[in-house]
Structure 1
């Protein structure tokens, strides 16, 4: 791809709020629907498609607000780095073709991506795509990918069906790249947008059978590791809401020793069965405590969930009762409105059917009766509107107060439940620290005894003359250095102890922090959701009654205006006399029909 700027006469493009609003407005529906949409405004998180193409954009920015995006095109720009997309977790199609990207990165949160286009960039390695497990179409043509191993990288994507590597150096590494793809990527149906026929796949598999077998063997270890990571992720997801993930296993204990260089050095002392026995006992006791905490955490999680379900049932019941009351009020309003509407039409029919001539006393009395009746009917309707508003608002105020009280009581209960759980957490982690202290003291005492034995010569040969393997020599030298001085042993045990306590502290802090964040978010969201519901309900009440009043006002104004025009009380404008014109036209047609029959 050329290094020229796409539009040399344009300034560097910047994705800002002004640009995004303009693009969103441009994608709005046409005509009246589009006008209303633009007036009301489209919520940022409801925008699904954005195209920012041919704008000389250098940096991806300000897209974090568009969390509802499912399709994003940033093609034909001068973007150098993939960034700023982490919040677009609903994205299914991403087009970054014809840019200046050199590294694939920062896509790990976009797990719903199905179509990814990176055509026409400067990418040399396929990497950081493993989280895109739903990938179906992948275009990486006209880049700088040289190694054929990059193509094998795509074997991990089980749903991948279409690829395009055209224009990359790797395509020339094998005699027939299409045939090679058919053999090594059996799930691919389209290569460079051309279907791979079944007979092509069979011939390719037969040709590369031996090589494919070798690839499968080498993938077994990688596959096993991927499955392990998936299992861990599943375990974490399953128990994350109880905050005790992995505590049901030896994960915390193993983590303490995996990174503990000093502790591993102590455990490497040869032929020390007593030290090994104490280590195994320590591990068993430690894991018993974490398993007990795991079981308690799961049980208390279920109790919290049950409390939440009961709370939601209570809220739904209150809302249902309120909804029934509000519906009853609205139904009564509609019935009364219908009666008043019929009264208006009867008044109108009374004037229309009366044969009194204008400029007579009878006609004047008729007009007075009509105006008085229409005015009284309108006043009755306005009173009905006010009464209905008062009743609906009373219902809303009542349900709002009830829900706020229920939310407050629930917040107290759930807080007490979580605090009870955290107290148990604290006691269990205190047990772990006690066990760790005991292990440190015992291991220190044993290490001193071993040091004394080695220094007296009774066991020195076991230390430095074990086997002549390189790694054993290194370990022996480290142990010899360790046991050369009591202070070294003390520092080693203290360092191991500090590292273990750090892991224990970090795990407890993580548990407590996540639990408190969950509680804070739950309580905050309850208050926020109720405030949003209340405001929306009040707005809906006002909107409904305003529309009803406007509708009845139109019903009142048109007949009164038409009757006044017919009586000569006002001069009717052409655009205001539609009802009167319709009635006089109907009357003239009726008279013409009578004359014709005569």
Structure 2
């Protein structure tokens, strides 16, 4: 049976890579369709489903890692999950994916031939390129959003009925989802968004029983090269294009409109993010002014007072330019802060690189000298003479340690000076911006105070006319509810004034709090990173010197 399938695959003129992939999938399907069921039914009746734990991971890494003496050394030094690139966890009766968050460097993961029901616990595996979840009990595609580098994905032989939740996997090149429960052709349309998809396996799904399945796929997935282990020939593609011509044209037009909308939204989001980074979002127009009245319960009623329409227009025309001034200053400030931050990190990295260069040269010289002396000492038979040489080497190691420590101390002093200059510059920039912003917001409050006084004057004059029955026009019911007496109208105007001032104060406080928080967070992060770098460097020096001295001690034993 395997031979027949192999011949069929070979006759379809697949590329070498796809032939290998197709053979692997096909042979796996055949073998696991027969022997797997017999063997698993016997073994799994005895074993309970498992959850991935530390013991399983350690065992898998040891089994797949270097063997012999190299394996013993690796095991002795300890297994660092962050340094593992490939991991096989197949045929382990795994029910729940767990404990994989430390494998941040993983590029290939095999979880096939288990009893997994949900795709989960893979969020941190952002470097994953190849993922095999075939032969499990998965019902829904989920939990793959963060795997943006994924190129090969196998969900073969599961219980999936809908192809979904793959939107972020734009690098997907090969998708194997055969032997599932996919029955609707709309699933093929979902795959149109994956422009890098070249190989697709849907064999064994109910969808394949559709009369026009192959030409439908060929028509609606124009970039696809291989379908169900076979090359999509031009004749099939042409037939599909003719049959679905009108549907394709409508779909392309809709997709074009959707793409334009997506791009416009993307530009809008990027612009908004830029404004947020400058802490001045929604200050480039009348948004603050509008929000003051949107949250004022009596604003609409008071706007009905005679002459209020003109008064509000004057208020708005003066308030809006002030907000734009804050906005423009914020963007200018952001550009200046960004340049200052970039300059700081450039200087810091150059200082570190130069120190590392000097240390590397010093280390190279020391290593050459140490190797020569090691060879010489191996030829010495006189114990006392050997001990004298070893003592001399110890002294040289101490001197070398002092040299490295001195280089590190010089670097620390240099970085401290750079940091102090940066801290002073960024503090001055932020302080100047804060002072400017506070001045503008004070002007906004002054405008509100003037507006309040004018509004109160109009309201009281209108009330007096109402009392004297001097109002010729009919008063709207909403306004009449306020013009009952002096206290009622005064309270309404004052409440409106308080609402407006509070809105201005809150926006000012928000801006100042965020920019201060940004600055303190940045300075703290820089300081902590430098402390961590320094400690790590000192530890490296001490460990190396300890290694050198241990080797010297071994020569006397």
Structure 1 residues 97-176: aligned runs within 5 Å: 97-170=134-207, 175-176=211-212
How far apart in 1 are the matches of 2:113 and 2:410?
56
3-state DSSP of counterpart to 2:87: strand
What's the counterpart of residue 10 of structure 1? 47
What's the counterpart of residue 25 of structure 2? none
Structure 1 pair 191/515, CA: closer, same or farther in 2 (3 Å)? Answer: farther
What's the counterpart of residue 568 of structure 1? none
How far apart in 1 are the matches of 2:73 and 2:272?
46
What's the counterpart of residue 393 of structure 1? 401
What's the counterpart of residue 30 of structure 1? 67
Q: Which piece of structure 1 moves more, 391-400 or 488-497? A: 488-497
What's the counterpart of residue 233 of structure 2? 197
Structure 1 pair 510/85, CA: closer, same or farther in 2 (3 Å)? Answer: farther
How far apart in 2 are the matches of 1:419 and 1:159?
48
How far apart in 1 are the matches of 2:169 and 2:541?
41
Post-superposition shift, 1:379?
2.5
What's the counterpart of residue 72 of structure 1? 109
Structure 1 residues 151-550: aligned runs within 5 Å: 151-170=188-207, 175-231=211-267, 244=277, 247=280, 262=295, 275=312, 278-279=315-316, 282-334=319-371, 344=380, 374-424=382-432, 426-427=434-435, 430=438, 433-434=441-442, 437=445, 458=473, 485=482, 509-547=513-551, 550=554
Q: Which piece of structure 1 moves more, 497-506 or 185-194? A: 497-506
Match of 2:77 among 14, 19, 40: 40
Structure 1 pair 495/159, CA: closer, same or farther in 2 (3 Å)? Answer: farther
Alpha-carbon RMSD across the aligned residues, in angstroms, is 4.4
Post-superposition shift, 1:496?
7.8
How far apart in 1 are the matches of 2:293 and 2:132?
46
Deviations 1:25-76 (A, max 9, x none): 1110222222222222231111111222333433322211111111222233
How far apart in 2 are the matches of 1:213 and 1:457?
65
Please tell me whether the aligned partners of residues 355 and 408 of structure 2 are also in contact (alpha carbons under 8 angstroms): no
How far apart in 2 are the matches of 1:265 and 1:104?
52
How far apart in 1 are the matches of 2:160 and 2:522?
41
Deviations 1:116-162 (A, max 9, x none): 23334444444432222212122333444454333322222221222
Please tell me whether the aligned partners of residues 260 and 499 of structure 1 are also in contact (alpha carbons under 8 angstroms): no
Structure 1 alignment gaps of length 5 or more: 345-370, 464-479, 555-598
Please tell me whether the aligned partners of residues 126 and 150 of structure 1 are also in contact (alpha carbons under 8 angstroms): yes
Deviations 1:394-444 (A, max 9, x none): 113322333333344444443334433443454465467557656766887
Structure 1 pair 168/33, CA: closer, same or farther in 2 (3 Å)? Answer: same
3-state DSSP of counterpart to 1:58: strand
3-state DSSP of counterpart to 1:116: strand
How far apart in 1 are the matches of 2:330 and 2:338?
12
How far apart in 2 are the matches of 1:265 and 1:213?
54
How far apart in 1 are the matches of 2:113 and 2:454?
69
Deviations 1:266-303 (A, max 9, x none): 79999957646754654443233122212112112212
3-state DSSP of counterpart to 1:520: helix
Please tell me whether the aligned partners of residues 275 and 446 of structure 1 are also in contact (alpha carbons under 8 angstroms): no
Deviations 1:234-277 (A, max 9, x none): 6688x69xx72685886797699699965899799999576467
Deviations 1:521-580 (A, max 9, x none): 322122112211221222223324544664x659xxxxxxxxxxxxxxxxxxxxxxxxxx
Indicate the structure (1 or 2) with the bigger Cα radius of gyration: 1
Please tell me whether the aligned partners of residues 253 and 283 of structure 1 are also in contact (alpha carbons under 8 angstroms): yes
3-state DSSP of counterpart to 1:94: strand
Report the number of matched residues. Answer: 500
Please tell me whether the aligned partners of residues 79 and 99 of structure 1 are also in contact (alpha carbons under 8 angstroms): yes
Structure 2 alignment gaps of length 5 or more: 1-28, 483-488
How far apart in 1 are the matches of 2:206 and 2:459?
62
3-state DSSP of counterpart to 1:61: coil
Please tell me whether the aligned partners of residues 87 and 110 of structure 2 are also in contact (alpha carbons under 8 angstroms): yes
Please tell me whether the aligned partners of residues 289 and 320 of structure 2 are also in contact (alpha carbons under 8 angstroms): no
How far apart in 2 are the matches of 1:255 and 1:215?
42
How far apart in 1 are the matches of 2:241 and 2:298?
51
Post-superposition shift, 1:228?
3.1
How far apart in 2 are the matches of 1:265 and 1:93?
61
TM-score, length-scaled by structure 2: 0.74
What's the counterpart of residue 351 of structure 1? none
TM-score, length-scaled by structure 1: 0.70
How far apart in 2 are the matches of 1:147 and 1:500?
55
How far apart in 1 are the matches of 2:81 and 2:148?
21
How far apart in 2 are the matches of 1:398 and 1:338?
29
How far apart in 2 are the matches of 1:284 and 1:255?
11
What's the counterpart of residue 26 of structure 2? none
Q: Which piece of structure 1 moves more, 293-302 or 402-411? A: 402-411
3-state DSSP of counterpart to 1:105: coil
